[in-house]
Structure 1
Amino acid sequence: MRLTTAFSLLTAAAAAAAQCNGQTAYCSRPFSNITFIGAHDSPFIGSGLSDNQNINITAQLDMGIRFLQGQTHYFLNELTMCHTSCILEDAGPLSGFLSEIKVWLDSHPQEVVMVLVTNGDNVGIGNFSAAFEESGIDGYAFVPSTSPGVLPMGQWPTLQELIDQGKRVVAFLDYGADMSSVPYILDEFSYYFETPFDVTDSTFSDCSINRPSGASADGRMYIVNHFLDEDILGIDIPDRADAATTNAVSGTGSIGAQAQLCEGLYGRAPNGILLDWTDKGDGIGAQNAINGV
């Protein structure tokens, strides 16, 4: 009986170890060939008009989110996670945001997380590298083999390779990256294009390239901005009330419907899909469906 129990435990442990981001199939797939559901404005949590999430970073990771995005602004002499303005919403320093992710990664050795931060005040890259180093997450950060050159889409490592190398954070900055001086903070728009954001059309019928302006889809991964706003007196406010419909697997205006529309246009699935209110609807179910797992 004891031998049977021990064998069962070992078998279960081996099965768990063989998973990457919760799926065995992901282990052999390149990072560039997986769709990651992401938390848009992930640090901005609460019931205020400018909030975008109901649950904190750790809870987002616990539910299966492996793509975290957030805005930074330079406030009181440090990079801070602020929504548009630090007067409007201040979620603490960038180093704290990164530290929370690192703590989670420390206890989840089979997980790979993508981090995308914005540079709202166009500050120098040294401010970002200082925050990465202060948090300790820089040790997890992936550096492409072609650095400082851009890694072609077909040459990305698999999730298992990233895990084996201990490089389980893939970090991007929207503007101001300098891959020659800080090779582990990648220039977002050298690698990705994005669809329009601040969308108020609940059908999400637009998959056009919004950023970078005039870019070609060739050779770039892409991020779909699938979060709905409502226009209140000319101000775009995150639409909390319709989140379950917006974040559904299928149906009009769903994650699946927009992903299918974009795939038809570009010939491949999105690499990232950003959501508000990630705990509403079924973002992880949509991720599984798009990835075919």
Structure 2
Amino acid sequence: MLSNLPLGLLSAAALLFPITSAQCNGQVEYCTRSWSNITTVGSHDSPFVGDSLSDNQDISITAQLDLGIRFLQGQTHMSILGNELELCHTSCLLEDAGSLTDYLTTIKTWLDANPNEVLTLLLTNGDYVGIGNFSASFEASGLDTLCYVPPTSPDVLPINEWPTLQELIDNGTRVVTFLDYDADMSTVPYILDEFSYYFETPYDVTDSTFDDCSINRPSGASADGRMYIVNHFLDKDVLGADIPDRDAANTTNAVSGTGSIGAQTALCESLYGRPPNGILLDWVDLGEPIKAQDVINGVSS
């Protein structure tokens, strides 16, 4: 036993085998922080990977998670046959990235291999289908077993009552899931209604300065009592269509400077008195999203 070693040998052992504290989402400090008191950069349209005009990411879901992304957003639509939810960009005729079940299975596999990680998941319900279509995919993938259910459910959990990351990890509830429309927290309590909890800034932005932090959705909402998501992904107009601007991603996803993650965060914080809870980005492998996240949260990279 190390306790039986002479003091000199103990000192040498400490140098050779330093004791490290457990980390939560890559940071020791996050373990004792409330989930609602951490700013997380996220992957906007995370399933749409490639180099077509409708793609938003360069790297796979697994690679995004390996990079340090802990907030994934994805669009869902019913399949062309109408029998299953798919990850489709605007329409399944435009781009179909596979079934929601397969997407969730990929996430579940990664989380099983990384037990100290907490993930936020935001899905859109583009066809306004019933909540049972979503719960079926969660159950088929097994991800439902890792999802957090607020103790106040179906009522909204106040911002200051969220558990810490360590509590979520210890309780095996490491996935916090939101749906933008037609969530039913009385029926499926682990899929939370996004706009009961959040407001969002404008999206499909083509102004590279990102000088707007106004509340876009839900319309007419108050910031009081809601967390918020900044849509910090830049589009460009191509023949009347808004296309993700990959060429600008290194600047858009920078830590500081005009149009950067840091600059828009500072603007929003000046308006609302607190930093955003989520910041959605295209091309998460470009620029320095994780460093920007660390700076906003006041932790070392």
TM-score norm. by structure 1 comes to 0.96
2:199 corresponds to 1:193: yes
Alignment partner, residue 208 of structure 2: 202
Alignment partner, residue 273 of structure 2: 267
Q: Shift of residue 11 of structure 1?
A: 4.6
Alignment partner, residue 102 of structure 1: 108
Alignment partner, residue 238 of structure 2: 232
Q: Residue deviations 1:77-113, cap 9 Å, x none?
A: 1000000011110000001111111100001010000
Report the secondary structure of 1:71's partner residue. Answer: strand
| Aligned with 2:120 (options 93, 97, 114) | 114
**Count of equivalent residues:** 289
2:168 corresponds to 1:149: no
2:60 corresponds to 1:56: yes
Looking at structure 2, the residues matched to 9 and 151 of structure 1 have their Cα atoms a distance apart, in angstroms, of: 45
Looking at structure 2, the residues matched to 198 and 238 of structure 1 have their Cα atoms a distance apart, in angstroms, of: 9
Residue type of the alignment partner of 1:85? S
2:49 corresponds to 1:24: no
Looking at structure 1, the residues matched to 72 and 271 of structure 2 have their Cα atoms a distance apart, in angstroms, of: 26
- Unaligned 5+ segments in structure 1 are none
Q: Residue deviations 1:193-243, cap 9 Å, x none?
A: 000000000000000000000000000000000000001121000001010
Looking at structure 2, the residues matched to 61 and 235 of structure 1 have their Cα atoms a distance apart, in angstroms, of: 30
Residue type of the alignment partner of 2:218? P
- Unaligned 5+ segments in structure 2 are none
Looking at structure 1, the residues matched to 15 and 88 of structure 2 have their Cα atoms a distance apart, in angstroms, of: 48
Q: Residue deviations 1:20-63, cap 9 Å, x none?
A: 00000000100100000000000000000000000000000000
Matches of residues 6-85 of structure 1 in structure 2 within 5 Å? 11-12=18-19, 14-15=20-21, 18-75=22-79, 76=81, 77-85=83-91
196 and 110 in structure 1: CA distance in 2 versus 1, 3 angstrom threshold: same
Looking at structure 2, the residues matched to 222 and 8 of structure 1 have their Cα atoms a distance apart, in angstroms, of: 44
8 and 123 in structure 1: CA distance in 2 versus 1, 3 angstrom threshold: farther
Looking at structure 2, the residues matched to 11 and 140 of structure 1 have their Cα atoms a distance apart, in angstroms, of: 32
Looking at structure 2, the residues matched to 157 and 238 of structure 1 have their Cα atoms a distance apart, in angstroms, of: 35
Q: Shift of residue 9 of structure 1?
A: 8.2
Report the secondary structure of 1:262's partner residue. Answer: helix
Looking at structure 2, the residues matched to 208 and 165 of structure 1 have their Cα atoms a distance apart, in angstroms, of: 36
Alignment partner, residue 183 of structure 1: 189
Looking at structure 2, the residues matched to 60 and 285 of structure 1 have their Cα atoms a distance apart, in angstroms, of: 15
Q: Shift of residue 10 of structure 1?
A: 6.8
Q: Shift of residue 124 of structure 1?
A: 0.1
Who wins on radius of gyration, i.e. which is larger? Answer: 2
Residue type of the alignment partner of 1:54? D
Matches of residues 123-134 of structure 1 in structure 2 within 5 Å? 123-134=129-140
Looking at structure 2, the residues matched to 185 and 248 of structure 1 have their Cα atoms a distance apart, in angstroms, of: 32
Alignment partner, residue 282 of structure 2: 276
10 and 130 in structure 1: CA distance in 2 versus 1, 3 angstrom threshold: farther
Looking at structure 2, the residues matched to 74 and 10 of structure 1 have their Cα atoms a distance apart, in angstroms, of: 53
Structure 1 stretches (4+) deviating beyond 4 angstroms?
2-12
Alignment partner, residue 291 of structure 2: 285
Looking at structure 2, the residues matched to 292 and 145 of structure 1 have their Cα atoms a distance apart, in angstroms, of: 29
Q: Shift of residue 8 of structure 1?
A: 7.1
TM-score norm. by structure 2 comes to 0.93
| Percent of matched pairs sharing the same residue | 72
Q: Shift of residue 116 of structure 1?
A: 0.3
Residue type of the alignment partner of 1:101? I
Residue type of the alignment partner of 1:20? C
Matches of residues 168-179 of structure 1 in structure 2 within 5 Å? 168-179=174-185
Report the secondary structure of 1:118's partner residue. Answer: strand
